[in-house]
A and B are shown apart, each in its own frame.
Chain A
Amino acid sequence: MAEEKVEQRRRWREFWRRFSRNKLAVVGLVLVFVMFFTGIFAPWLAPYSYTDQNLDAVEQMPSLAHPLGTDELGRDQLSRILWGARTAVIIAPTATFFGVSLGLLLGLLAGYYRGWVETVIMRFADILFAFPGILLAILIAATVQGRIEAWLKGFEALEGFVKAGFAQVLVVIVALSAVGWPGMARLVRGQVLSLREEQFVEAAWAIGARPWRVIRHHILPNAMAPIVVSVSMSMGGAIVAEAGLSFMGIGIRPPTPSWGALIIDNYSFWRSPAAPVLLWLPALIVGAMVAAFNFVGDGLNEALSPGW
């Protein structure tokens, strides 16, 4: 037992050594931590509430009272950006989690059982691939929106959440997961297809291991590296996709702050001298987070791929 622990610790140290060799990956990891920290502690970090309007101080340039100025309704831009991190911290991991879980499960089934299971699953993935992605997300979001809102009304305990835009967040999560799984299913199936030809899998079958055991102990651990990398990258993708959906008027709507919604709400300021704080800053934050998740993905790729 103790030896196992030592072995595990050694592995982690080895993993970290390889990961931290990529300096950009470390920078990305720090940014990701900052995003999560900000998202979780937004209510304590933000100087104002994201809905506080001050119509005597609209469209102000940065000042001591408002370090990043105010928007057209006199809302503090810094507070809205900090609160926007919370939306990102909720949406990116959840949408990725559901999309990845579905893709992982279906990809495993398709690759492991082959035959008609594979045909049905992969054909369905093909169909979703041939769909124009953003349109499918929009159609799904528009279709489930009313239903989710009606469903949430049934839970009185959730009233506070609903007021804070919980329903819209849920809609975005559903739409992004539905569009996101086929890519993961393809990736996982490819991995499984090559792994099931390996001798250690054959050996496991030969001694009569059950399918679930083979998948859990022999296939999954060896297929993990590309999956983990793609999880990291799709977190960044989810943040951009949320911005795109907001731009289309689907998903996060005012006054709920999200970085996407901040870009969209302030788009009309593109000529204004306040554009750098009102518009560029949220836009660059989105870009930086995508880059950060990509860097972490690259770092994981180097740390997890064998033969280094």
Chain B
Amino acid sequence: MITYVVRRLLWLPFLLLIIGLITFALGLYGPGDPVLVMLGQHANPEAADRVRHELGLDRPFLVQYADYVWKAIHGDLGESLKYRGQPVGRLMASRLAVTVQFNAVVIAVGLAVGIPLGILAALNRNNLMDYLIVSLTVAGISLPVLALAPIAMWFLAARFHLLPSGGWDGIFSRRIIMPTLVLSIGPAAVFVRQTRANMLEVLDQDYVRTARAKGLREHTVIVAHALRNALIPLLTIFGLMLGGLVGGGTITESIFGIPGIGRLVWDAFTARDYPVIMAYTLLVAVAYTMANLFVDVCYRFVDPRIHYG
């Protein structure tokens, strides 16, 4: 088990090195020049060269990358090119706090709505209730945020003035309701679908029949015997969503005016602020890898049948 975890963790530095290299290369060979964005399109070429030299952008590609890696190992992710003098780490930390809080609320709402509805659908299999929940799920999975957002905003904000159309004021403000409403529909639908499918499968198992046969109350059978096992596969989805916690939706954060990390990266992209983009890519890669590892280790604990070499 420990060897397994160590082996998985040893892969992480290589992963980061390669991901960093790809992003760095796309940044360097991609269009746009951060110096020209900084100084304006009609900047004096000499001044531009001087700034480029100051920032070390005139060195060979591999030298620049090696330098970046060396500094990154020592905890220095460089300075933002757009916000001169601001260390990337500090810039990201404040935005990250917003994104993590917001996404945590979205996932929590998705879980709180999705699992009960999934159970309800499974227990009413092929009833009107089941059909209703399943069709809502299909709509929830299919409709992209880009489509749901304007409709929700029109009804709730423009037409009936029930809610503010977005913005950020902490997780206990009314502003969070609209974005949460729109964004949690997707995760909720995924949880409903999975819970329903798993419940249906588990309810057919021998141990559920045994539990019923020995005269346990239906409530105990459902909660203690069926549900506990039905929720195990949800761990994968939940874990990967936790990994996505830091990602932040570039589109959604722009639509709802949430100053999170997705928004920061989008601004960084338009300004060709590559230190920020680099740091973001590495952060997402770490989160993704750790989330996967977390899921696999958790499985080991909840399902003793699984073994890792």
Contact = CB atoms under 8 A, between A and B. Distances in A.
Contact of A130 (B29, B138, B266, B288): B288
Contact of A294 (B29, B30, B32, B142): B142
Interface residues of A, number: 41
B142 A291 contact: yes
Contact of A287 (B22, B23, B147): B147
Given A130-B289, A142-B32, A244 B280 contact: no
Nearest to B28: A143
B138 A287 contact: no
Nearest to B250: A134
Contact of B15 (A127, A132, A260, A271): A127
A240 B148 CA distance: 13
A131 B31 contact: no
B142 A290 contact: yes
Contact of A143 (B29, B139, B277, B288): B29
Contacts of B150: 263, 267, 270, 275, 279-280, 283
B251 A143 contact: no
Nearest to B151: A280
A30 to B, nearest CB: 16
Interface in A107-140: 126-127, 129-132, 134-135, 138-140
A142 B274 CA distance: 13
A240 B141 CA distance: 12
A236 B142 contact: yes
Contacts of A73: none
A299 B123 CA distance: 24
A304 to B, nearest CB: 19
A294 B141 contact: yes
B285 interface: yes
B140 to A, nearest CB: 10
Contacts of B27: 139
A132 B143 contact: no
Interface residues of B, number: 42
Contact of B154 (A244, A260, A270, A288): A270
Interface string A231-252: 0000010001001100111000
A130 B15 contact: yes
B108 interface: no
Contacts of A249: 270
B144 interface: yes
A213 to B, nearest CB: 33
Interface in B4-35: 15, 18-19, 22-23, 26-27, 29-32
Given A248-B266, A284-B147, A139 B285 contact: no
In terms of DSSP, what is the predominant structure of the interface of chain B? helix
Interface in B257-309: 265-266, 269-270, 277, 280-281, 284-285, 288-289
A146 interface: yes
Contacts of A271: 154, 157-158
Nearest to B269: A138
A245 to B, nearest CB: 10
B190 interface: no
Nearest to A286: B147
A283 B147 CA distance: 4
A244 B251 contact: yes
B19 A127 contact: yes
A230 interface: no
B250 A248 contact: yes
Nearest to B18: A127
A140 B22 CA distance: 10
Given A236-B142, A244-B146, A280-B151, A126 B15 contact: yes
A49 B172 CA distance: 49
A33 B34 CA distance: 46
11 contacts: A130-B15, A130-B284, A135-B281, A135-B284, A139-B23, A142-B31, A146-B31, A244-B251, A247-B254, A283-B150, A284-B147
Given A135-B277, A263-B150, A286-B147, 19 more contacts: A130-B285, A130-B288, A131-B22, A138-B269, A142-B26, A143-B30, A236-B142, A247-B146, A248-B251, A248-B266, A267-B255, A283-B144, A283-B146, A283-B147, A284-B143, A287-B142, A287-B147, A290-B143, A291-B139
Interface of B: 15, 18-19, 22-23, 26-27, 29-32, 138-139, 141-144, 146-148, 150-151, 153-154, 157-158, 247, 250-251, 254-255, 265-266, 269-270, 277, 280-281, 284-285, 288-289
Interface of A: 24, 126-127, 129-132, 134-135, 138-140, 142-143, 145-146, 236, 240, 243-244, 247-249, 260, 263, 267, 270-271, 275-276, 279-280, 283-284, 286-288, 290-291, 294-295
